[in-house]
Chain A
Amino acid sequence: MSTDVAHDAHHHGPPAGFRRWLFSTNHKDIGTMYLIFALVMLFLGGASAMMLRAELLYPGIQILNPDLYNNLLTNHALIMVFGMVMPAAAGMANWMIPMQIGAPDMALPRLNNLSFWLLPFAGTMLIISMIAPYIWGDTPVNTGWTLYPPLSVQAGIGMDFSIFTLHILGISSILASINIVTTIINMRAPGMGWMDMPLFVWAWFLTGLLLIMVMPVLAGGVTMLLFDRHFGTAFFDAAGGGDPVLFQHLFWFFGHPEVYVLLLPSIGVLGLIVPTFSRKPLFAYKPLVYSMMLLCALGMVVWAHHQYTVGMSEAVTNYFMIGTILISIPVGYMLFSFIFTMWRGSMTFETPMLFAIAIVLMFSFAGVTGVMLAVVPADLQYHDTYFVVAHFHYALIPGAVFGLYAGVFYWLPKWTGNMYDEKLGKIFFWWTTISFNLTFFPQHFSGLAGMPRRIVDYSPIFLEFNFISSISAFAFGASHLLFLYIIIKTIRGGEKAGDMPWDGAQVGTTGLEWTVPSPPPFHTFEEPPVLKAK
């Protein structure tokens, strides 16, 4: 305690009122704010998806005009990727990483405050981007989240707000990543080596590095877009000698690793949940860490498999095809590692574990369609159809979103001190997974039959698939009201959880979060914990 500031912060409770939140440098409070922000965004993004599905219930144009449809589509993606999954994962990192590695707080607490408080501004900006066309009478942001020029150069003023949204979100997640990586490098409790860290910490370490590598490239790309729009440059404008395909390369150089940014934290959560409820240590922990590293390295160099149809030479497409198919090796390894952890474990099926098992099944399915899409001649047929939509929703909803839900159920007792309602949790699990599958499984068929993405209308021959999809999507959306209810109910009270709500965590995981009370006091590990000798 060398300074007065540190002294103050450590010997008083949280300040009262809004100051506690606005000026917070406490990793737990900031984590909570991240999670609440993500929850709000989940409902915003979900509401836009519900409107899209309502429009697609029948062929023809019923409730949304084509531009508004495409605007909602863009916002759905941006909100879910940048507003929901990434902040939720960052919230969990804030809450859990210092507690798991025995650190008193994040390495740079004030930076932590800044990286959270940028988010509400970005969210506001995103909403302005949507209403701007109605104020200034311009085209809405109708490009999809990929923001491809030339359309994005021509779109109205809403696009400028979208670009600034991405800038702010980018700065926020870069700062958060710097903070998390620094925390993991410097703040581990004495005696906790790199290979003793819980898998979630490893996953976030690699996620943070990935974000530091790729997020600035996206920022550069959208900055060029902004320059093309307003300052007469021609980075992407063919009329001035630029090349729109360059943007696609910049975007996907970010966009493909981004998939692993979304995925890895959830893999990290699974790496704790599966051992806990199998009551066995994680099978082959070290190779699993190496396979995550391999995944990140390969993920950085295969971006152009999103662009097979732009007219690259055969040699280049072959390279990207082979690289992409290679990715199935580390991913397959991860899934096998989870399966072998369950093998002959004394398993119980609480809600987090149910999610974990479902994720292993459904994510493998996304892996299979991923290999199909990686194959160039096949992809030329699947490109921009609903098959792609089905593929990446199978990858991202089980791979990222359900992983976060599992994490919420797993740690909610630790965060609140109360057990969630197990019966409601199980109802939520079955409701959400069944309706998810009914929503997206039919889209494989409509995609293979040739239904294109990002279009407000469709041929009546796809009616049945879309009708099933839409009705199930409404059920999927509604299931989240139950999710919200479970969370609120748990916060308000319930059976006391105890320090170690999951008995299996003792044998299954190495994190220190179970050594502190539930809910944890405002400050934990002010003195570094002493790790038991192995």
Chain B
Amino acid sequence: MSSQVDKNKVVAKRLLLAVIGMFGFGFAMVPLYTLICDVTGINKVGDASEGRVALEDVIHGGVNEDRLINVEFDVTLNGDLPWDVEPEVKKMQVHPGKAYEVVFTAVNKTDDNVITTAVPGITPWQATEHFSKVECFCFNQQKLKPREVKAMPLKFVIANELPEKYGTVTLSYTFMNTDRSKVNKKVASIH
């Protein structure tokens, strides 16, 4: 009987180790997920630093004057972010291989400091790796003082390698309030 109890303890301990291992695996997924996405390019869309390159690395094929690509800009303010953000143009036509600059104007409508993160997304996602941001307000958090108006430049190049079938590329930014307590308050209402 006691040997039976010992045997049970051995098996149960091994299974418990498996449980602990799988719990660790869940947390290991966090760096692994980023790694897998980087290596396979599954999830380049959501990565803010993606496309941050030096200008000379992008413009190697020269400017293709024969091809025009439509670029559209879109801004979403997440939650109750008390800002206004507007690109100076909603859409433009660009040549691949040439650098362009677009200024986004942000206005803080409150009497508090507000810090945001802008997360870019590119549609179609297959264009992501060919859409390079040389300079972007999305590389850093942006802080606006009360009632401040700020011009935020975006400098980008679309590579010559962008497949011909993609005639229009949409760059969409979602601005998020980094102060989560502010986000919660507004959403929190039962009625």
Contacts and interface: CB of A to CB of B under 8 A. Distances in A.
A455 to B, nearest CB: 17
Contacts of A181: 11, 15
A138 B190 contact: yes
Contact of B46 (A108, A186, A213, A243): A243
Contacts of A216: 19-23, 25-26
Given A107-B12, A241-B117, A174 B19 contact: yes
A240 B19 contact: no
A1 interface: yes
Interface in A176-217: 177-179, 181-182, 185-187, 212-217
Contact of B189 (A134, A139, A311): A139
A2 B33 contact: no
B1 A6 contact: yes
Interface string B71-82: 000000011000
Interface stretch (A25-33, A90-98, A245-253, A388-396): A245-253
Contacts of A146: none
Chain B interface size, as a band, is: 35 or more
A493 interface: no
Among B48, B174, B187, chain A packs the most CB atoms within 10 A around the CB of: B187
B108 interface: no
A239 interface: yes
Interface in B1-27: 1-2, 4, 7-8, 11-12, 15-16, 18-27
Contacts of A378: none
Interface in A1-52: 1-3, 6
Q: Interface residues of B: mostly helix, strand, loop or mixed?
A: helix
Contacts of A235: 30
Interface in B150-191: 174, 176-178, 180, 183-184, 187-191
Interface stretch (B36-44, B51-59, B98-106): B36-44
A80 B184 CA distance: 29
A311 B187 CA distance: 26
Contacts of A138: 188, 190
Contact of B12 (A178, A218, A241): A178
B125 to A, nearest CB: 6
Given A153-B180, A316-B42, A182 B8 contact: yes
A224 B23 CA distance: 12
A524 to B, nearest CB: 16
Interface of B: 1-2, 4, 7-8, 11-12, 15-16, 18-27, 29-30, 33-34, 40-43, 45-46, 48, 78-79, 116-117, 119, 125, 174, 176-178, 180, 183-184, 187-191
21 contacts: A1-B1, A65-B190, A65-B191, A107-B8, A108-B12, A111-B12, A138-B190, A139-B188, A139-B189, A186-B7, A186-B11, A213-B18, A214-B22, A216-B22, A238-B117, A238-B176, A239-B117, A240-B178, A243-B43, A246-B30, A249-B29
